[in-house]
């Protein structure tokens, strides 16, 4: 499974949100992020590391739940 790691810079706080500058090629893109979800002690200029990966187990479980619900629904319409 591949993981993408990126490091964003906390630019500023705006109310309940933090504006993170996320690198995208040669530029940085501002992203609003709930301040409550940031690690304790961060402030303007802090570097925040994100590791992103696909959760294949959760996807499989979700597909299974949907399949079971669909099966129940189609069985009820046949009765």
> What value does the mean pLDDT of the chain take?
93
Tell me: pLDDT of 78 over 90.
Answer: no
Name the least confident of 11-15, 31-35, 73-77: 73-77
For the domain covering 3-78, report its CATH number: 2.40.50
- Is pLDDT at 39 greater than 70 in this prediction? yes
* pLDDT for res 15: 97
CA 66 to chain centre: 22
Look at residue 37 and tell me whether its pLDDT is greater than 90.
yes
Q: Please indicate, yes or no, whether the overall pTM of this predicted structure exceeds 0.75.
A: no
Give me the residue spans of the domains in the chain. 3-78
Average pLDDT over residues 3-20: 97
């Amino acid at each position: 499974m591949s993981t993408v790691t990126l490091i964003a810079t906390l630019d500023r706080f705006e109310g309940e949100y933090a504006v993170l500058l996320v690198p995208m090629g040669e530029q940085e893109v501002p992203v609003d992020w709930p301040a409550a979800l940031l690690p304790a002690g961060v402030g303007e200029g802090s570097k925040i590391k994100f590791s992103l990966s696909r959760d294949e187990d959760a996807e499989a479980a979700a597909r299974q739940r949907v399949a079971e619900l669909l099966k129940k629904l189609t069985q009820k319409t046949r009765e």
